[in-house]
Amino acid sequence: MIGVIDTDGECAEWAFPAEPGAVRTARHAVRGTLRSWGLDSVGDVTVLLVSELVTNSLRYASGPIGVRLVRRNPAAPDLAGGPALLVEVSDPLPDPPRERVANPDDEGGRGLHLVAVSAQRWGTRHGKSGKTVWFELALPGE
């Protein structure tokens, strides 16, 4: 996996080839894992944001695309803000994505904006080979 960090909590991760079917496969894997964790309440937004980020990676990267979910442990001493779902999408390109303003007729350019307005926190970081875009969603009721 590219740019993975260690965290406390339940974890699921995958590596997908940079092929058109990767977006559908990633959505299916993420939704299934969230369902098994009892996190259907954040399923739709998580799947949407993962789809956007994997699509961005597909557009620009030629190597594997990593997706990682971590159900953060609220008892971890360094975790602020309560229980959360951390989602990471990694690819081998070193350049961080840039948020831009899409015109009404543009067919793309809204992915990072969706992440920015939907997640409680998000960002990017460089790994040994490539980058990771991550976002965090609050888990209500835990």
Radius of gyration of the chain measured on its C-alpha atoms: 14
- Running DSSP on this structure, what letter comes out for residue 116? H
Q: Distance between CA 9 and CA 73 in Å, rounded?
A: 5
**Quick check: 30 and 47 in contact, CB under 8 A?**
yes
pLDDT tens readout for residues 113-136: 889 999 999 999 998 889 999 999
If pLDDT is split at 50, 70 and 90, which confidence band does 1 have?
Answer: very low
pLDDT tens readout for residues 26-52: 999 999 999 999 999 999 999 999 999
> Average of pLDDT values for 23-27?
96
pLDDT tens readout for residues 55-71: 999 988 888 999 999 99
Classified as helix, coil or strand, 123 is: strand
If pLDDT is split at 50, 70 and 90, which confidence band does 85 have?
Answer: very high
